[in-house]
């Protein structure tokens, strides 16, 4: 009954099983691929403006004049990265993305560096996106205040369950909210600009406040301090680029022609992201928006600090509240769409992390279980691992976006830089053999794009490291180093195992003899079955082994052995200290040492029970003996199962039809 209930619950959450031949049915058209793979990058425009304003607020009101200029710089970097990745998906359509580009062109360690950076970035994407979504939602739902970490963790589990149903299923479920978010932001921008052109654009509520600069920037700001502040604001704004790389990792999930569809989706992503980001920044500037890191110490009204009770809404929330002051429904619609897209942005990571994990597992850098597809042809183990890691981060940082964001974008820009460098090497290598003038001309243009992209992304990476290292980026770097070392260690282990398992001349030679040892604890049906099984296998020699604890019990067993006429010699060895496991292992090893060319097979009778608590009452000694003998060369262990009545009843229960089986047909069909 319990097994049937579990199976029904699993089918309700995950859905019916899919055959391996149905993999083609899970491929995505562009209309679904955009929300699946671009939701992270599109959602970045919901919190990238917040980060820009938070950073510039440290310099006071004068620094706010640079917000839209920083937006233009971020947009330029994004356009360059998108153009570069459009080349990547054509050159490397297998789904390895930056990892494959770096591995092929820069070497194995460069590829592992990119992989470790992306794995960390995917985990942070889930943690940051969902935490940001919960934070935005709390402005409309005050009851969430103080429970953000719990709510975020529950949402991670919900996303995990949805993605276990498969890429196409999650794409269908999340497509509408993603498109609604695009509509909400673009509509807010059009509404705001229309109001501005007609002279009716209202000011946001925070426009009435002044900003007290941080103590380090109080008074006249030196040119060096201003440059550092603007660089920090620029690096914060570059969070808008996170998620751009996901499409290059997800090319295999697109319908044919895969590369062209992926490139088109990238172009749509870049155009929409830049348009939405700039519309928010320009509107915020026109409406004199104020958004600071610590309102109680930075926001002033009529020369007086607002105090610790002041509640500060996000940038989008402030804009929507002012623009839709006469249409409250539109305000709640915008906030709801923003909250949803921030939560669903994590879906990009749930598609990218498992695919990358499967490729790394196939290459021997991660456990091979990550390359196993689940019931719905999704990489289930990778999905569960990502969810668990994200929940740990959310709980550790209490779902505070300001803390988590400092760990962000380091990883993605490491992958950007190495990917650009790898593509430059790619074009240079191909130019050596290409003779067609038109193709060579195209390659030269592509290399120029990648060279420009390398200079831009490397500059951003340097700025990020300089401005965010001590603020928390060092934690992400430490995590990357740990994952890097771990992956190399795993690869070394798999290589060593493969070398040991390689067939050589000694594996073709048959052993001299096979000596069978049947362990006897008492004379009953399981023992008789083990003796019969050993005899049927026709070993060269066979004996039964009994360890004596009590002389009377030994005499009784020997007498019963003779009465039954068992024509297998019974070897009785004494154990004065009542050490069963050690005595058996020592005897087997002595036999092996005496005849090194022989193979010894140890047959162990075991009960098969039907209830978990019964397992605790049986077979514990057998498990300990097997555990010791498995480390002995030249010794094989065979468990001879005997099914007790509870096991037979459990099997009968499992074979009964579960609710819905009649409608679905036989299981596995």
**Lowest mean pLDDT segment, chosen from 171-185, 478-492, 585-599:** 171-185
Please indicate whether residue 549 or residue 400 has the higher confidence score (pLDDT).
Answer: 549
Residue 265, pLDDT above cutoff 80 = yes
Q: Which of 260, 352, 258 is nearest to 24 (CA)?
A: 258
Q: Which of 379, 401, 423 is the last residue of a domain?
A: 401
Q: Is residue 214 part of a domain?
A: yes
Top-ranked range on mean pLDDT: pick from 62-66, 225-229, 535-539, 606-610: 535-539
Say what the pLDDT of residue 203 is: 93
Say what the pLDDT of residue 509 is: 64
Q: Is residue 488 part of a domain?
A: no
Say what the pLDDT of residue 659 is: 44
CATH number of residue 46's parent domain: 1.20.1740
Top-ranked range on mean pLDDT: pick from 13-17, 94-98, 225-229, 529-533: 529-533
Residue 9, pLDDT above cutoff 60 = no
List pLDDT tens digits, range 143-187. 777 778 888 899 899 888 888 876 666 666 678 888 899 999 999
Top-ranked range on mean pLDDT: pick from 85-89, 212-216, 508-512: 85-89
Are the CB atoms for 248 and 96 separated by under 8 Å? Answer: no
Residue 399, pLDDT above cutoff 90 = no
* Span 532-561, average pLDDT: 91
* Span 112-129, average pLDDT: 88
Starting at the edge strand found earlier in the chain, the sheet holding 541-548 runs 570-574, 541-548, 514-519, 599-608, 635-643
**This prediction's pTM:** 0.73
Q: Which of 659, 644, 657, 658 is nearest to 611 (CA)?
A: 644
Say what the pLDDT of residue 3 is: 46
Are the CB atoms for 351 and 26 separated by under 8 Å? Answer: no
Residue carrying structure tokens 């529950």: 154
Provide the number of structural domains found in the chain. Answer: 2
Q: Which of 401, 430, 452 is the last residue of a domain?
A: 401
Residue 516, pLDDT above cutoff 80 = yes
List pLDDT tens digits, range 36-47. 777 777 878 877
State which residues form the domain around 281: 19-91+125-401
Percent of the chain with pLDDT over 70: 85
Please indicate whether residue 266 or residue 43 has the higher confidence score (pLDDT).
Answer: 266
Q: Is residue 595 part of a domain?
A: yes
Q: Which of 349, 374, 401 is the last residue of a domain?
A: 401
Q: Is residue 450 part of a domain?
A: no
Are the CB atoms for 104 and 422 separated by under 8 Å? Answer: yes
Residue carrying structure tokens 């770097």: 477
**Orientation of helix 620-629 relative to helix 580-594, angle to 10°:** 30
Percent of the chain with pLDDT over 90: 23
pLDDT band at 375 (very low <50, low <70, confident <90, very high): low
Top-ranked range on mean pLDDT: pick from 193-202, 575-584, 617-626: 193-202
Q: Is residue 355 part of a domain?
A: yes
Residues 6+ apart with CB under 8 A from 14: 161, 164, 165, 374, 375, 376
Tell me: do 397 and 542 sit in the same domain: no
Q: Is residue 113 part of a domain?
A: no
Residue 12, pLDDT above cutoff 80 = no
* Span 605-618, average pLDDT: 71
**Lowest mean pLDDT segment, chosen from 46-50, 201-205, 662-666:** 662-666
Tell me: do 232 and 345 sit in the same domain: yes
Q: Which of 606, 450, 581 is nearest to 524 (CA)?
A: 606
Tell me: do 390 and 522 sit in the same domain: no
List pLDDT tens digits, range 54-100. 888 887 777 788 888 899 998 998 898 888 888 888 888 876 778 88
Q: Is residue 492 part of a domain?
A: no
Tell me: do 152 and 293 sit in the same domain: yes
Are the CB atoms for 627 and 637 separated by under 8 Å? Answer: no
Q: How far apart are CA 353 and CA 18, in angstroms?
A: 21
Tell me: do 363 and 239 sit in the same domain: yes
Residue 650, pLDDT above cutoff 70 = no
List pLDDT tens digits, range 448-476. 988 988 988 888 888 888 877 777 778 88
pLDDT band at 663 (very low <50, low <70, confident <90, very high): very low
Residue 126, pLDDT above cutoff 50 = yes
Residue 576, pLDDT above cutoff 50 = yes
Tell me: do 352 and 230 sit in the same domain: yes
**Lowest mean pLDDT segment, chosen from 9-18, 102-111, 327-336:** 9-18
List pLDDT tens digits, range 286-300. 999 988 877 888 888
List pLDDT tens digits, range 378-392. 778 888 999 999 999
DSSP 203: P
Q: How far apart are CA 185 and CA 277, in angstroms?
A: 9
**Lowest mean pLDDT segment, chosen from 44-48, 164-168, 428-432, 588-592:** 164-168
The β-bridge partners of 448 are none
Say what the pLDDT of residue 17 is: 60
Are the CB atoms for 487 and 360 separated by under 8 Å? Answer: yes
Please indicate whether residue 162 or residue 661 has the higher confidence score (pLDDT).
Answer: 162
Please indicate whether residue 324 or residue 11 has the higher confidence score (pLDDT).
Answer: 324
CATH number of residue 658's parent domain: 3.40.50
Average pLDDT, the chain: 82
Q: Is residue 171 part of a domain?
A: yes
Say what the pLDDT of residue 202 is: 92
514-519/599-608 β-pairing: parallel
């Amino acid at each position: 009954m319990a097994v049937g209930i579990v199976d029904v619950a699993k089918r309700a959450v995950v859905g019916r099983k899919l055959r391996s031949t149905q993999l083609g049915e899970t491929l995505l058209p562009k209309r679904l691929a955009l929300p699946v793979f671009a939701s992270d990058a599109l959602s970045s425009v919901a919190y990238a403006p917040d980060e820009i304003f938070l950073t510039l607020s440290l310099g006071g009101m004068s620094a706010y004049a640079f917000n839209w200029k920083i937006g233009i710089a971020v947009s330029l970097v994004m356009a360059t990265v998108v153009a570069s990745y459009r080349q990547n998906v054509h050159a490397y359509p297998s789904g390895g993305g930056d990892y494959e580009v770096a591995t092929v062109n820069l070497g194995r360690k460069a590829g592992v560096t990119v992989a470790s950076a992306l794995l960390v970035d995917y985990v942070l994407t889930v943690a940051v996106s969902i935490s940001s979504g919960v934070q935005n939602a709390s402005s409309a739902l005050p009851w969430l205040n103080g429970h953000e970490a719990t709510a975020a963790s529950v949402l991670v589990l919900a996303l995990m369950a949805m993605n276990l149903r498969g890429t196409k299923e999650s794409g269908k479920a999340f497509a509408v909210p993603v498109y609604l978010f695009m509509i909400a932001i673009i509509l807010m921008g059009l509404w705001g600009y229309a109001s501005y052109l007609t002279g009716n654009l209202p000011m946001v509520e925070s426009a009435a406040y002044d900003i007290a600069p941080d103590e380090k920037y109080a008074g006249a700001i030196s040119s060096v301090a201003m440059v550092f502040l603007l660089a920090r604001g620029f690096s914060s704004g570059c969070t808008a680029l996170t998620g751009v790389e996901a499409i290059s990792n997800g090319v295999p999930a697109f319908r044919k022609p895969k590369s062209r569809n992926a490139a088109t989706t990238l172009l749509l992503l870049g155009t929409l992201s830049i348009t939405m980001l700039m519309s928010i920044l320009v509107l915020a500037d026109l409406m004199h928006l104020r958004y600071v890191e610590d309102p109680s110490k930075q926001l002033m009204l009529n020369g007086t600090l607002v105090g610790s009770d002041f509640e500060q809404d996000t940038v989008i929330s402030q804009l929507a509240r002012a623009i839709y002051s006469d249409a409250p429904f539109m305000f709640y619609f915008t906030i709801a769409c923003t909250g949803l897209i921030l939560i669903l942005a994590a879906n990009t990571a749930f598609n990218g992390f498992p695919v990358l994990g499967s490729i790394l597992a196939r290459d021997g850098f991660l456990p091979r279980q990550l390359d196993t597809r689940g019931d719905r042809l999704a990489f289930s183990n990778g999905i569960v691992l990502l969810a668990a890691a994200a929940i740990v981060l959310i709980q550790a940082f209490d779902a505070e976006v300001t803390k988590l964001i400092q760990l962000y974008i380091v990883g993605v820009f490491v992958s950007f830089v190495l990917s650009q460098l790898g593509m430059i090497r790619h074009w240079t290598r191909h130019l050596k053999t290409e003779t067609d003038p038109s193709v060579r001309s195209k390659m030269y243009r592509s290399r120029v794009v990648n060279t420009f992209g390398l200079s831009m992304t490397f500059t951003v990476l340097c700025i990020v490291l300089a401005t965010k290292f001590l603020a928390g980026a060092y934690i992400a770097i430490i995590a990357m180093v740990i994952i890097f070392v771990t992956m190399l260690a795993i690869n070394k282990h798999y290589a060593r195992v493969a070398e040991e398992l390689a067939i050589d001349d000694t594996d073709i030679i048959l052993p001299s003899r096979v000596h069978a040892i049947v362990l006897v604890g008492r004379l009953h049906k399981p023992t008789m079955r083990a003796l019969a099984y050993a005899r049927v296998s026709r070993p060269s020699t066979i004996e039964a082994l009994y360890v004596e604890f009590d002389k009377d019990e030994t005499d009784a067993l020997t007498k019963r052995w003779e009465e039954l006429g068992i024509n297998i010699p019974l070897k009785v060895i004494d154990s004065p200290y009542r050490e069963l496991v050690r005595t058996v292992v020592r005897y087997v090893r002595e036999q092996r040492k005496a005849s090194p060319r022989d193979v010894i097979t140890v047959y162990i009778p075991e009960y098969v029970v039907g209830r978990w608590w019964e397992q605790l009452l049986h077979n514990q000694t057998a498990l300990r003996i097997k555990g010791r003998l498995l480390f002995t060369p030249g010794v094989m262990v065979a468990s001879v199962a005997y099914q007790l009545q509870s096991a037979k009843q459990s099997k009968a229960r499992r074979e009964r039809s579960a609710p819905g089986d009649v409608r679905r047909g036989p299981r596995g069909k």
